[in-house]
Chains A and B, each alone.
Chain A
Amino acid sequence: MHEWFVINWPFIEWLPPSLVLILGGLLVSFLRGVVQKLMLLAAPTLALVAVLGSAPGAYASFEFLNMQMTLGRVDPLSLVFAHVFAIMALVGAIYALHVRDTIQHVAALIYAGSAMGVVFAGDLVTLYVFWELMMLSSVWLIWRNRRAASLAAGFRYLLVHAVSGVLLLAGIVIYYTQTGSLSFDAIETGSPAFWLILLGFMINAAVPPLHAWLTDAYPEATVTGAVFLCAFTTKTAVYTLIRGFPEAEVLVWLGTLMTLWGVTYAVLANNIRRLLAYHIVSQVGFMVAGIGLGTAMALNGSAAHAFTHILYKALLFMSAGAIIQMTGRAKLTELGGLYRHMPLTFVFYMIAAFSISALPLTSGFVSKTMILEAYADHQAAFVWLVLSLASAGTFLSVGLKLPWFVFMGRDSGLRPREAPANMLVAMGIVAFFCIFIGVYPQWLYQMLPHQPVGYNAYTLAHVFWDLQLLSFVGLVFFVLLKFMAPKDKITLDTDWFYRVAAPHAVGLIHRHGTSAWRNLLAAMRWPLGRIFAQALRYHGPKGILARTSPTGSMVLWVAVLLTATLLLYYI
């Protein structure tokens, strides 16, 4: 692990970047105008300096309710994620600088800070607290889009993540009672705690069939909020999976399914941010599959791919956001021919698109091939083939279909201006990293958790295979162009079960339950009436037993009873 410099902060041992971002976010809420913008940049800058100046070790440990909490477990794995999170928080702040919405700024900084908190958390309780804070802050980035669809999607997002939080908490409680420890390391296979915590993490990592919250909510977020969203939630989950569940075999198959699920749905998508959101599912699938394999190269590959993915995916969402902001449209069917009006956005988009497609000399190539190489070393042909298929699909949708129907293709008649300068600067910074990492992968490799890395992406065979794969996918795309035209439709995904099926089931039970209860009561009326009538006959106010008997008959009956007793006595 390289250390550029280690800072000795006055009075404190270590400056927690998570708290810097969260306190910065709170401070932003009190400021306005230029001072607010300066604070918006200062907090992530200080967080980045704090991350760069962190030396490995355990910091900020304290006891709370007899539990040992650690805010700062700094090691190579947490630092890889912390570096990219800090870069992303700063770039995201630059991208959002023109926005006049304090709530969004506050939410974005607290969200980035909580993600950083998860990455540095040394114990499960600290992790849980930041995990929940991440959910509570990020939902505002969806709600602040202020459309009915965004409000609804935000509530669904909140509910799904609440389930993730509850599963995680239940798992942590069981883990604590079983082991008596709260430290967050690899979790022992097979126990109920293992499955509950794994499920909690898997929901945030958007593993099918628990992934639909992502493709439902991200396209409805604000333009700048989506950039933060696409960077943090899924990647903190990838970090926690690497830390807690390396070599969990179930992740091999779920990761493989993710890659295929994402690219297949992306082919059908019409909303540009939904298309990109499906590719988050697909790309995180590569990381999850790498974690499942669990070899040093696979885990390095997953961490490296998370690093590069955060950057190129953010750039894709930034470009898509710029298009939506400048044209007011988000559907492929409504866009087209924009390259003349937004040329810089187009170029930045293409850099990100080539990166996600793993074109040589871009960042995706040096990280994705690492995971594929780990599977090749393992001779796992099926998984390797599916992951390669997903690579082809990624280029098909993100590298060809989206840019063709947005920037090229037919002229939609839209004449937008280029995106604002701050957005372009943010896109430029990320585009630089996409190419820099592709050209100089050692910069990334030296940060990875398992050293020495000893992997070279740029072998002739890799480059040949990749260039052929991508160029021939391009050939098929242009040959079949008329079949590739987007349709003005939406696609059902697993969210259908809780958006349509579950409410219908509840409605059905309610309606049928009510009528069944009424029928039961109607059927009971006759026997109940009979019982009631009989009771009245004997016990009612005019019933036989309620009559007052005359004294004469009482004497007669007593005489009869006495006679009977006398007779019985003698017999």
Chain B
Amino acid sequence: MLVKLLDLLVRHARWLKRVVLAAMAGLVIADLLSPAGYDRFVWESWGGGGALFGVLACLSLIGLAKALGLGLVYRREAYYDDELAPYRALEDAAEERSRSDLS
């Protein structure tokens, strides 16, 4: 039942996309037309301020993360594996014990 519903949504992804995009456009237009709710910050009074902020925030965050990752902090998966050597014996012992627990 649930799978069928999800499958239906996936099959009609193109329609879904159009509906969501239309809703987003409607949201921005509605925000432009409605009076500003707050005026504590200047961007709160702009219609579509949330949309603009969302795009800018997302782009800057991806840029920041990628720069940090590629420039400084990305390492291969096995980077810390050397430190595991003393624990391998414990791991083997634990495995053996769990096997004997099950049998």
CB distance from B21 to the nearest CB of A (A): 8
Interchain CB contact under 8 A, A499 and B80: yes
Number of A-B contacts (CB under 8 A): 167
* Interfacial chain A residues near B27, Cβ < 8 Å: 464, 467-468, 471
Q: Which residues from B are CB-within-8-Å of A146?
A: 91, 94-95, 98
Considering the chains assembled together, what is the distance between the CA atoms of A152 and B89 in angstroms? 12
Q: Is A13 in contact with chain B by the CB < 8 A criterion? A: no
Nearest residue (CB) in B for A156 is B83
The residue in chain B whose Cβ has the minimal distance to the Cβ of A376 is B40
Interface of A is mostly: helix
* Contact yes or no, A487 B50, CB < 8 A: no
Contacts of A343 in B (CB 8 A): 2-3, 6
Q: 1/0 per residue A259-287: CB within 8 Å of B?
A: 00001110110000000000000000000
Whole-angstrom distance between the Cβ of A424 and the nearest chain B Cβ? 12
Q: Are A147 and B54 in contact (CB under 8 A)?
A: no
- Please give, as numbers and ranges, the residues of chain A lying within 8 Å of B37 by CB-CB distance: 459-462, 464
Residues of B within 8 A of A488 (CB): 77
The chain A residue with its CB closest to the CB of B78 is: A490
A369-399 Cβ-contact flags toward B at 8 Å (1 or 0):
0000000110101001000110011001000
A468–B72 alpha-carbon span in the complex (Å): 33
User: Which of A75-83, A90-98, A443-451, A472-480 is the contact stretch?
Assistant: A472-480
Q: Which residues of B contact A (CB under 8 A)?
A: 2-3, 6-7, 10, 20-21, 23-24, 27-28, 30-31, 34, 36-38, 40-41, 44, 48-55, 57-62, 64-66, 68-69, 72-77, 79-80, 83-84, 87-88, 90-91, 94-95, 98
Point out residues on A near B: beta carbons under 8 Å. 146-149, 151-152, 263-265, 267-268, 339-340, 343-344, 346-347, 376-377, 379, 381, 384, 388-389, 392-393, 396, 408, 459-462, 464-477, 480, 483-484, 487-493, 499-500
Partner of B91, one of A148, A376, A460, A468: A148
Question: Which residues of A have CB within 8 Å of B30?
Answer: 464
A190 CB to nearest chain B CB (Å): 32
B-chain residues with CB within 8 Å of residue A265 when the two chains form the complex: 65, 73
**Docked complex Cα distance between A344 and B2 (Å):** 8
- Chain B contact residues, majority secondary structure: helix
CA–CA, A338 to B95, complex, Å? 29
Which residue of chain A has its CB nearest to the CB of B64? A264
Residues of chain B contacted by A480 (CB below 8 angstroms): 62
18 contacts between A and B (CB under 8 A): A152-B83, A264-B64, A264-B65, A267-B65, A343-B6, A344-B2, A347-B2, A376-B38, A376-B41, A384-B41, A392-B58, A460-B37, A468-B48, A471-B24, A475-B55, A476-B54, A490-B74, A490-B77
Asked whether A492 lies within 8 Å of B87 as measured between CB atoms, the reply is no
**How far, in angstroms, from A547 to B10 measured CA to CA in the complex?**
109
Q: Within the assembled complex, what's the spacing in Å between the Cα atoms of A466 and B40?
A: 16
User: Contacts of B36 on A, CB cut-off 8 Å?
Assistant: 461
Choose one: A340, A393, A489; the contact of B57 (CB below 8 Å).
A393
Q: Which residues of B contact A483 (CB under 8 A)?
A: 62, 66
Is there an interface contact between B74 and A489, defined as CB atoms closer than 8 Å? Answer: yes
Nearest CB on A from B60, distance (A) = 7
Among B20, B38, B48, B95, the one with the most A-chain Cβ atoms within 10 Å of its Cβ is B38
Contact present for A490 and B57 (CB under 8 Å): no
Task: Compute how far the CA of A436 lies from the CA of B76 in the bound complex, rounded to whole angstroms.
Answer: 43
State A376–B77 Cα separation when bound (angstroms).
42
When distances are taken between beta carbons in the complex, the residues of chain B under 8 Å from A467 are 27, 50
Q: How far is the CA of A500 from the CA of B83 in the complex (A)?
A: 9
The one of A151, A469, A477 in contact with B53, judged by C-beta atoms closer than 8 angstroms, is: A469
Residues of B within 8 A of A339 (CB): 3, 6, 10
A389 touches B61 (CB 8 A): yes
Closest CB in chain B relative to A481 CB, distance in Å: 11
Q: Across the two chains, which residue of chain B brings its CB closest to A462?
A: B37
Tell me how far the C-beta of B42 lies from the nearest C-beta in chain A, rounded to whole angstroms.
9
Apart from A396-B62, A473-B54, A473-B58, what 4 extra A-B contacts exist at CB < 8 Å? A146-B95, A152-B83, A461-B44, A464-B27
Collect the chain B residues with CB atoms within 8 Å of residue A491's CB.
69, 73-75
**A149 contacts B84, CB within 8 Å?**
yes
Q: Which 8 A-B pairs have the closest CB atoms?
A: A461-B37, A468-B50, A472-B54, A267-B65, A392-B57, A148-B87, A465-B50, A146-B94
Q: Are A469 and B54 in contact, CB atoms less than 8 angstroms apart?
A: yes
Which of these, A149, A344, A392, A493, contacts B54 with CB under 8 Å?
A: A392
Is the Cβ of A490 less than 8 Å from the Cβ of B79?
A: yes
Task: Report the Cα distance A487→B65, complex, angstroms.
Answer: 13
Kindly report which residue of chain A lies nearest to residue B67, judged by CB atoms. Answer: A264
Give Cα distance in the complex from A465 to B41, angstroms.
Answer: 13
